[in-house]
Amino acid sequence: MRDLLADKFRTTLSLAGVSIGIFSIVAVFTVVDSLKESVNEGFQKFGSDVVMVERIPIEPDFDQDGRQKLWQYDSRPQIGWQEYLFLEENSTTADRMAFSASFDMECAAGRENYDEGAFVAVDGDWRMMVQEKILHGRGFTFGELSSGAAVTIIGSDVAKKLFADIADPVGRIITVGGTPLRVIGIFASAGENPVSMMDVDCVRLIPIRFALRIVDIDSPTLKTRITATSHQTGEESPDGIFKEELKSELRILMRQYRRLRPAQEDDFALNELSFVAEQFQSVFGMVNTVGWVVGIFSLLVGGFGIANIMYVSVEERTRIIGIKKALGARKRVITMQFLAEAATLSILGGLAGIALVWLATLLIPDTLFPIYLSFVNTLKGIAIALVIGIVSGVAPARHAASLHPVDAINS
């Protein structure tokens, strides 16, 4: 090993390929695992049986020429609050149901801090859409929702922006459309999550009946949605059968309310979070493939570099190898010595690549999801580096072990 470290420049160049390869592979493992955990956390919040009635489908719909048929969605009517009331009254398979309408309006705290605020008007079981805890204050009561009380629950970023100098803004007044709103709750910081029905940190939640006074709920500029979950009471039925029953019933009721003839297509969409999950899985697979391709090419370069430096080391120590064999050293001992050196070099390169991944996790901001280097991925990187080192060192080690003692000493 001392001989290998004598030429630091040559050794560094040989290990650079291993470092880059391990960095590429471990970085992909880290990003994919972090994204998976963030996505799974989002799906666990809402459950797998969520069905959303919306105007536009999540799953793209293409025509015969391969163009997405966005034009046919423009003429679709908005998902209305009255439709939600109809579904809530007539559905027998829905366990929970809620309505939401998102819109932007000018908002102010007192007489200053005016800004364009994102409001979400809700009705029904609004908690199924917002799972984050309320850090200060409380949630809506049934009376406040049914009467359209002038109250709001705001996100943590909204509280910091409108009430920067106030520790607990519960009870304070904000103004929207000239109408005062009393803050009754502050959501805990939710951070970014790829799977979310709304940006909780920037939201201003209000009752739908209050929103009717300040905005046209049926306006096509609003983003409206009916969210429902199915009953999960039967243990003998296969997974997903309750959700399919709910979708069938929602489709029948929506078509009944909109008086669609049997030959007419649905002018609404029944979306599921499971489709989003499938899309994420395809993204995971693509990122994994790209990472492995880049990593394998880098590891090949690093492996050839290690094999080359080990051959050079064998040539430089031919006389020493001959003396060892003349003194009784077996082939296995010589082989294991060079394999250990090759594995050590590769592991050093792997540790350098893992260290670069760790530094990257510290420097990259958590804009979309938190990225962290797990212990498992660290072990994977070390194991891959160890395998590359052993494979690269087999040929030089066998060459060293096969040298004839007399020829090696006289070389």
Q: What is the pLDDT of residues 302-317, one digit of tens each?
A: 778 788 878 877 887 7
Residue 72 has pLDDT above 80, yes or no: no
Residue 31 is predicted with a pLDDT of 81
174 or 112, greater pLDDT: 174
Residue 113 is predicted with a pLDDT of 43
Residue 411 has pLDDT above 80, yes or no: no
Per-residue pLDDT averaged across 83-97, rounded? Answer: 91
Of 131, 129, 127, 128, the C-alpha closest to 140 is 127
Beta strands in 40-164 (DSSP E): 50-54, 94-109, 112-124, 134-137, 151-154
Residue 41 is predicted with a pLDDT of 67
For residue 11, what pLDDT band results from cuts at 50, 70 and 90?
low
Q: Assess contact for 105 and 116: CB atoms under 8 A.
A: yes
Cα(337)–Cα(345) distance, integer angstroms? 13
Residue 71 has pLDDT above 60, yes or no: yes
Residue 237 is predicted with a pLDDT of 44
Q: Which amino acid type is present at position 85?
A: L
Structure tokens at 43: 């799906």
Q: Assess contact for 246 and 49: CB atoms under 8 A.
A: yes
Residue 114 is predicted with a pLDDT of 42
For residue 42, what pLDDT band results from cuts at 50, 70 and 90?
low
Residue 149 has pLDDT above 70, yes or no: yes
Percent of the chain at pLDDT > 90 equals: 18
Per-residue pLDDT averaged across 121-125, rounded? Answer: 92
Q: What is the dihedral of CA 399, 401, 406, 411, to 10 degrees?
A: 40
Structure tokens at 249: 């019933």
Q: Which amino acid type is present at position 251?
A: R
Per-residue pLDDT averaged across 291-312, rounded? Answer: 77
The region of weakest confidence among 16-25, 242-251, 291-300, 318-327 is 291-300
The region of weakest confidence among 33-47, 132-146, 256-270 is 33-47
The region of weakest confidence among 39-43, 169-173, 316-320 is 39-43
Digit-coded pLDDT (tens) for 225-254: 999 988 764 444 455 578 888 999 999 999
Q: Coil, strand, or helix at residue 335?
A: helix
Q: Assess contact for 204 and 119: CB atoms under 8 A.
A: yes
Residue 191 is predicted with a pLDDT of 67
| DSSP classification of residue 262 | T
Residue 112 has pLDDT above 70, yes or no: no
The region of weakest confidence among 59-68, 104-113, 133-142, 175-184 is 104-113
387 or 234, greater pLDDT: 387
Give the mean pLDDT of the chain: 80
Q: Assess contact for 30 and 373: CB atoms under 8 A.
A: yes
308 or 140, greater pLDDT: 140
Residue 165 has pLDDT above 90, yes or no: no
Digit-coded pLDDT (tens) for 328-364: 778 888 888 888 888 888 888 889 889 999 998 888 7
Residue 83 has pLDDT above 90, yes or no: yes
The region of weakest confidence among 7-21, 204-218, 255-269, 395-409 is 7-21
Query: Which residues, 6 or more positions from 105, have their beta carbon under 8 angstroms from its beta carbon?
Result: 116, 117, 119, 176, 177, 214, 215
| DSSP classification of residue 164 | T
Neighbours of 314 (CB within 10 A): 20
For residue 367, what pLDDT band results from cuts at 50, 70 and 90?
low
Per-residue pLDDT averaged across 188-196, rounded? Answer: 68
Q: What is the distance in angstroms between the CA of the first residue and the CA of the last residue of the chain?
A: 21
Of 332, 258, 342, 341, the C-alpha closest to 305 is 342
For residue 111, what pLDDT band results from cuts at 50, 70 and 90?
very low
61 or 394, greater pLDDT: 394
Q: Give me the helix-helix angle, 318-326 and 331-363, nearest 10°.
A: 130
Per-residue pLDDT averaged across 166-174, rounded? Answer: 85
| DSSP classification of residue 232 | -
